[in-house]
């Protein structure tokens, strides 16, 4: 058999085995009765290659906004390999040099923060932030029960049940209830669809002030924390106005409610600052991070807290339950920490946060004029994190049905560029295209990404009969 024939045999076999045995994430497998399932094989820089050898510009950093430093970063591969040879694992109740060095690096990047707790996924990190917040108040005020968590409409915090209960996206929650109790929702912060029907700046930032209403409704003595994505990701790339978080902070301080910022997507340069919250003037209590922490070369997440949170867990040895009794087996994967350190070094040395800010602005500027088209409601973004809100009617802002976005995403992919869209998020409002390419994106690649959006959106305008 010649080489080409043997590759084709392998493709055929992998496709067949995939159809037989894989249960893919977020996928309706019914589609594979008529289509071939996707199989990705390799990546280099900002490009990925599928099983047929077709190359794509990856506008989503590994489909779900992870590979911030791009593919093929040898320094990360080396750091992982060396650490696996030295000590692949040791349970997280013991320190290891990479864990210690990662903690040192993170607190250097995060003035005011001092403690780092490692885990594996974004969901897990957020769960731990809830456990920390609840136990913090139970230790601080024995007899009082401050345990509720407030979250925001359109934000996402993960797939396990407590973080799903804290997720403001009905389509992620549907069918999985009953969800745990003790969670309450506040309105989203998207000006384009202001919940209060107002217009910034004459709006008194009602969306932030609404937190106080929710706290009062729930009973201030029962509320432990509010969890927020600094810039909402999967809920539609929502960038709160500058005054938003300082107001949230003021309300949290008034009622002694902790602020947990979910940096799982925003963190590590995605938005043009190292962390998303750093675009705003306020001081969160707890940060959670995952995807960009090691650019997903290894599964690692972290919860980073202020010292006053940690100090509340310094129990008298006689108090057997008074410390944080949480554990995460694979938090002890030392190569995850080694990968994260090498990854952060690349982000710093190659000035990828700065590149994200510059290329992100270029991308935004290149596409802003699409707003003149009748079905483009708003083009928004921060850093290499872009959203294009599609509407059927500009006056009513009726969302464009998502089947059309799906069609345009498929066209761009056929043309060799992977772009994204809101998927199974907020019912009736899955109408925002997304882009979150690797932060190493150069000018030419930025132009190609912009052109991919322009091409499918303009073509759609000429073919969609109104």
Residues that bind ligand PLP (CB under 6 A): 64, 121-123, 126, 156-159, 229, 233-234, 262, 264-265, 290
Q: How far is the CB of 228 from ligand PLP (least distance, A)?
A: 10
* Alpha-carbon span 364 to 252, nearest angstrom: 33
Residue number with CB closer to ligand PLP (62 or 98) = 62
What SS3 state is found at 317? coil
Q: Which residue lies nearer to ligand PLP by CB, 122 or 377?
A: 122
The sign of the dihedral angle between the CA atoms of 454, 460, 463, 466 is negative
- B/e letters for 47-67, b = 16+ CB within 10 Å, e = fewer, are bbeebeeeebbbbbbbbbbbb
Contact present, 250 and 208 (Cβ < 8 Å)? no
Q: Rounded to whole angstroms, how far apart are CA atoms 432 and 302?
A: 29
Instruction: Name which of 160 and 442 has its Cβ closer to ligand PLP.
Output: 160
- Nearest approach, Cβ of 264 to ligand PLP (angstroms)? 4
CB closer to ligand PLP, 126 vs 295: 126
Tokens (6 digits) for 412: 């761009």
Residue number with CB closer to ligand PLP (187 or 446): 187
CB nearer ligand PLP, residue 48 or residue 60: 60
**Min. distance of Cβ 309 from ligand PLP in angstroms?**
20
3-state secondary structure of 41: strand
Q: Exposed/middle/buried for 454, CB within 10 Å: 0-12, 13-18, 19+?
A: middle
Residue nearest to ligand PLP (CB): 122
Closest CB 380 distance from ligand PLP, rounded Å: 17
Shortest Å, Cβ 391 to ligand PLP: 24
Q: How far is Cα 89 from Cα 400, in angstroms, rounded to an integer?
A: 49
In whole angstroms, how close is the CB of 301 to ligand PLP at the nearest point?
Answer: 6
Residues 398 and 390: their CA atoms lie apart, in Å, by 9
CA pair distance 362, 384, nearest whole angstrom: 9
| Helix runs in 87-121, H state only | 97-109
CB of 155 to ligand PLP, least distance (A): 7
Q: Write the burial class of residue 143 (CB in 10 Å: 0-12 exposed, 13-18 middle, 19+ buried).
A: exposed
Name every residue whose Cβ is closer than 8 Å to that of residue 115 and which is 6 or more positions away in sequence. Answer: 103, 304, 305, 306, 307, 309, 310
Residue 407's contacts (CB-CB under 8 Å, 6 or more residues apart) are 460
Nearer to ligand PLP among residue 162 and residue 265 (C-beta):
265
Is residue 228 within 8 A of residue 259, CB to CB? The reply is yes
Residues contacting 345, CB < 8 A, separation 6+? 75
Q: Which residues contact 241 (CB under 8 A, 6 or more apart)?
A: 189, 191, 200, 201, 205
- Minimum gap (Å) between residue 153 Cβ and ligand PLP: 14
Instruction: Specify the residue, 70 or 420, whose C-beta has the smaller distance to ligand PLP.
Output: 420
Give 277 or 460: the residue with its C-beta nearer to ligand PLP: 277
Least Cβ distance, residue 169 to ligand PLP (angstroms): 10
- Residue 39 CA to residue 48 CA, distance in Å, equals 11
Q: Which is nearer to ligand PLP, 64 or 184 (CB)?
A: 64
**CB of residue 201 to ligand PLP, shortest distance in Å:** 27
């Amino acid at each position: 058999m010649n080489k080409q024939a043997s590759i084709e045999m392998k493709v055929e076999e992998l496709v067949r085995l995939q159809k037989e045995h894989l249960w893919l994430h977020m996928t309706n497998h019914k589609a594979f009765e008529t289509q071939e399932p996707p199989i990705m094989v390799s990546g280099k820089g900002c490009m990925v290659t599928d099983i047929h050898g077709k190359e794509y510009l990856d506008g989503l950093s590994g489909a779900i906004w992870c590979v911030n430093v791009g593919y093929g970063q040898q320094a990360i591969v080396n750091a992982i390999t060396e650490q696996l040879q030295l000590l692949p694992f040791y349970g997280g109740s013991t320190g290891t040099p990479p864990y210690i060095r990662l903690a040192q690096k993170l607190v250097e990047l995060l003035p005011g923060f001092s403690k780092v707790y490692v885990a594996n996924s974004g969901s897990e990190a957020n769960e731990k932030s809830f456990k920390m917040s609840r136990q913090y108040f139970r230790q601080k005020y024995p007899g009082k029960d401050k345990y509720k968590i407030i979250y925001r409409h359109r934000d996402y915090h993960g797939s396990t049940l407590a973080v799903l209960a804290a997720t403001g996206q009905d389509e992620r929650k549907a069918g999985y209830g009953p969800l745990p109790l003790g969670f309450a929702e506040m309105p989203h912060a998207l000006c384009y669809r202001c919940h209060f029907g107002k217009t910034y700046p004459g709006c008194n930032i009602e969306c932030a002030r609404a937190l106080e209403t929710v706290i009062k409704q729930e009973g201030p003595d029962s509320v432990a924390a509010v969890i927020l994505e600094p810039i909402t990701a999967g809920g539609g790339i929502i960038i709160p106005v500058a005054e938003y978080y300082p107001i949230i902070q003021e309300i949290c301080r008034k009622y002694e409610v902790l602020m947990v910022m979910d940096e799982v997507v925003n963190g590590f340069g995605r938005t043009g600052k190292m962390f998303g919250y750093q675009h705003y003037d306020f001081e969160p209590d707890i940060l959670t991070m995952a995807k960009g922490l090691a650019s997903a070369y290894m599964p690692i997440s972290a919860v980073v807290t202020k010292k006053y949170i940690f100090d509340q867990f310094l129990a008298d040895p006689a108090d057997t339950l008074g410390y944080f009794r949480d554990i995460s087996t694979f938090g002890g994967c030392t190569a995850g920490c080694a990968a994260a350190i090498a990854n952060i070094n690349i982000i710093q040395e190659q000035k990828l946060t700065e590149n994200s800010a510059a290329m992100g602005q270029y991308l935004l500027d290149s596409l802003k004029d699409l707003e003149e088209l009748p079905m483009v409601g708003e083009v928004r973004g921060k850093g290499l994190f872009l959203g294009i809100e599609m509407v059927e009617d500009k006056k009513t802002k009726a969302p464009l049905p998502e089947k059309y976005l799906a069609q345009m995403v498929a066209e761009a992919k056929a043309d060799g560029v992977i772009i994204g869209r809101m998927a199974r998020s907020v019912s009736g409002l899955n109408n925002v295209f997304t882009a979150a390419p690797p932060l190493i994106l150069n000018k030419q690649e930025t132009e190609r990404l912009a052109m991919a959006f322009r091409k499918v959106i303009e073509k759609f305008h000429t073919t969609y009969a109104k």
